[in-house]
Structures are given as structure tokens and as C-alpha cells.
């Protein structure tokens, strides 16, 4: 076993570089205690031995943008303290590689960027047209608003990245677990995991992976639309059916016909020849364009039912 998110597939563990983790990994190795302050400055000329100076020092970011995860700020403080106390001079290759990886992770954190640019030694704020506005001409209230928005956007970008990693790692480890179970039973497994649930031993938590066809709409949908128009002109359709037809052929926010609404139309039992011709055209128009894989995580209540652990902002 190689650790969290790596023990099933045999890959090296992917551990989050939290402040506590980096402190536990680096400081005890050198007989050091984590510093009490998070504001230890980096010496301008740290003392290094000849061997250590042969390898370029990792670059610690000078600062982190507002909105990055708290763990990233803890890590930043730990890295600064580690460099300040001279521990880098005594690290082996593995330690320096871990230190460099942590620095690189911090430098790669997504952010909304800086609102200003420097030109000819002066600070400017680019507007939406790309024009440079002198910093002194930007109202303080607008600066505060800009800072607020960039902080929220930076937090959202990092949260999206975290969720993407969680999803990818979960799918990968689920596939590895299914492969291990297949080996135990002498069955070679292939393809991707889908429509399967995993639970803890006490069944308090459940991870569910489900697969659903992603539908696309082909050009014969225009034939179905015309056939339904002809049916509406001849038949006495109720308001509910008319609403379903309008919903099916109305465009979504990406300018596409709603495939799920077309499927709902197909479930209606109407025997009129022109309706049946329209349904046949819809059948021809609907194509499977791949599969959508969904991840859901649940926690069991005292009554035995499972509550979804929300991963969206509306229910967080």
C-alpha cells in the first residue's frame, strides 16, 4: 500500500500539501520544531554548503492571491520558515524534490490575476477595452469591488480544480478496486466503472458512480418538428401536450434542442399517424454521443436513509 488515493492502483500516494503535512515531513527530519510565527523572513543570503548549492534553490512565491485555500497559506508559511531556518542546506535529494514540488504547486494555483499592470514605471488599471487607466484615476470604491470579485473568483477556480481532482481520482480508484475484486474472483475486468455503489464497513457512507447516455440531436429533427406541426393543425391537443412540444423544441442556453424533453414526448401514447411519424423521426434524430459519468457521495441518517452530501454552492 502506498497511501491515500494510491493504495489500490499501486501508484505513489497523492497527498495534499497542507501546512501540517509539510511540517510533519520536513521539520522532524532535521530535529526542528515548527516555528511559532508564520512571518519568518527568508534570509537574503542563506548559508548553504557546497553540495547543496550545486542544485538551484526552489523558488517560493513571494505572496499568494486572496481567495486561495487556507491550506495553501499554511504551506506557504511553512516553506518560508523552512528556508529561513537553513533546513534546505541539509536536505537530501528527496527532501529538496518535495520542497520544489510544493513550491511549484503554490505557483500553479489558479487565480483571477492582478488588476494592474506596470508601464514606464507607473501603475495602470486596464479597462474592458484594454485602455490603461492611471491608478490615481480609479475610484477607491471600484478598487474594493474589484478586489472582492477577484477573491471570490480565485476561490471558485481553486474549488473547481479541487472538485475535478476529486472526481478523477475517485473514478480511477473505483476502477482499480473493481479490478482487484475481479482478480480475486478470477475475472478480467475491462471498460470504465459505471452504475456501481461502494459503502464503508458500517454503511454510514456511500459513494455512487452512475453512467448515463449523453444524447445528441441529428438533422432529422426538422422532419419531426414539421410532422408535429401538421399533427397540431389536425388534432385537438391539450395544453399540457402543447407545452411539452414547445419545451422539447425550444432551445436551451447553448442553443441546442432539449434531448431529454424529446424523450418525454416519445413516452406519450398517441396513435395519430402524424404523431407516430413524428416520433419515428425523433427516434432517428436522437443519437448517443457518449456517456456522462456522475459521482455522488452520501451519508446515512439514523433512520437508515441516505442524504446526498452536496458538492454544489446552492446546497453547500
Domain ranges in the chain are 1-112+151-192, 219-288
Q: Which pLDDT score, from 0 to 100, does residue 313 have?
A: 81
The one-character DSSP state at 58 is P
CB of 42 closer than 8 Å to CB of 84: yes
Mean pLDDT of 209-223: 82
Mean pLDDT of 256-267: 80
- Judged by average pLDDT, the poorest of 214-223, 237-246, 301-310 is 237-246
Tell the residue number behind the cell numbers 454510514, with chain if given: 204
Ramachandran region, residue 130 (left: φ > 0; alpha: ψ -120 to 50; beta: rest): left
Q: Which of 217-248 are b and which e, b meaning 16 or more Cβ less than 10 Å from the residue's Cβ?
A: beebbebbbebbeebbeeeebeeebeebbeeb
Q: Which pLDDT score, from 0 to 100, does residue 77 have?
A: 92
Q: Which pLDDT score, from 0 to 100, does residue 200 have?
A: 95
Q: What digits encode the pLDDT tens for the residues 9-36? A: 344 443 444 444 555 555 554 444 544 4
Q: What digits encode the pLDDT tens for the residues 136-159? A: 999 999 999 999 999 999 999 999
Q: Quickly state the pLDDT bin for 261 (edges 50, 70, 90).
A: confident
- Mean of pLDDT over the chain: 78
Q: Does residue 235 have a pLDDT over 90?
A: no
How many other C-beta atoms are found inside a 10 Å radius of the C-beta of residue 72?
22
pTM over 0.85, yes/no: no
Q: Quickly state the pLDDT bin for 189 (edges 50, 70, 90).
A: low
Q: What digits encode the pLDDT tens for the residues 52-85? A: 444 566 788 888 999 999 999 999 999 999 888 8
Mean pLDDT of 285-306: 88
How many other C-beta atoms are found inside a 10 Å radius of the C-beta of residue 86?
15
Query: Cell digits for 247?
Result: 419545451
Q: Does residue 314 have a pLDDT over 60?
A: yes
Beta strands in the chain (DSSP E): 117-119, 122-126, 132-134, 196-199, 205-217, 286-300, 306-308
Q: Quickly state the pLDDT bin for 166 (edges 50, 70, 90).
A: very high
Percent pLDDT > 90 in the chain is 34
> How many angstroms separate the most distant Cα atoms in the chain?
92
Amino acid at each position: 500500500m502506498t497511501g491515500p488515493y494510491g493504495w489500490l492502483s499501486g501508484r505513489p500516494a497523492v497527498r495534499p500539501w497542507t501546512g501540517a503535512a509539510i511540517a510533519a515531513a520536513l521539520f522532524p527530519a532535521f530535529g526542528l520544531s515548527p516555528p511559532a510565527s508564520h512571518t519568518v523572513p527568508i534570509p537574503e543570503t542563506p548559508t548553504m554548503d557546497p553540495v547543496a548549492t550545486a542544485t538551484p534553490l526552489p523558488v517560493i512565491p513571494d505572496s499568494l492571491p486572496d481567495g486561495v485555500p487556507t491550506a495553501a497559506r499554511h504551506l506557504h508559511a511553512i516553506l518560508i520558515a523552512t528556508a529561513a531556518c537553513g533546513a534546505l542546506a541539509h536536505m537530501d535529494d528527496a527532501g529538496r524534490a518535495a520542497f520544489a514540488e510544493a513550491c511549484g504547486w503554490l505557483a500553479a494555483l489558479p487565480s483571477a490575476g492582478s488588476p494592474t499592470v506596470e508601464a514606464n514605471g507607473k501603475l495602470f488599471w486596464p479597462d474592458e477595452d484594454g485602455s490603461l487607466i492611471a491608478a490615481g484615476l480609479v475610484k477607491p470604491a471600484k478598487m474594493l469591488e474589484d478586489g472582492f470579485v477577484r477573491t471570490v473568483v480565485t476561490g471558485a477556480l481553486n474549488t473547481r480544480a479541487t472538485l475535478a481532482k476529486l472526481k478523477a481520482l475517485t473514478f480511477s480508484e473505483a476502477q482499480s478496486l473493481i479490478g482487484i475484486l475481479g482478480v480475486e474472483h478470477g475475472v478480467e475486468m475491462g471498460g470504465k466503472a459505471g452504475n456501481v455503489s461502494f459503502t464503508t464497513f458500517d454503511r454510514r457512507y456511500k459513494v455512487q458512480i452512475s453512467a448515463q447516455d449523453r444524447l445528441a440531436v441529428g438533422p432529422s429533427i426538422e422532419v419531426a418538428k414539421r410532422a408535429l406541426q401538421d399533427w397540431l393543425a389536425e388534432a385537438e391537443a391539450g395544453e399540457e401536450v402543447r407545452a411539452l412540444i414547445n419545451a422539447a423544441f425550444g432551445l436551451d442556453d447553448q442553443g441546442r434542442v432539449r434531448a431529454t424533453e424529446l424523450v418525454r414526448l416519445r413516452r406519450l401514447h398517441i396513435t395519430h399517424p402524424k404523431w407516430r411519424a413524428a416520433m419515428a423521426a425523433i427516434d432517428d434524430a436522437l443519437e448517443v454521443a457518449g456517456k456522462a459519468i456522475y459521482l455522488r457521495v452520501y451519508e446515512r441518517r439514523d433512520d437508515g436513509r441516505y442524504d446526498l452530501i452536496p458538492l454544489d454552492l446552492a446546497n453547500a
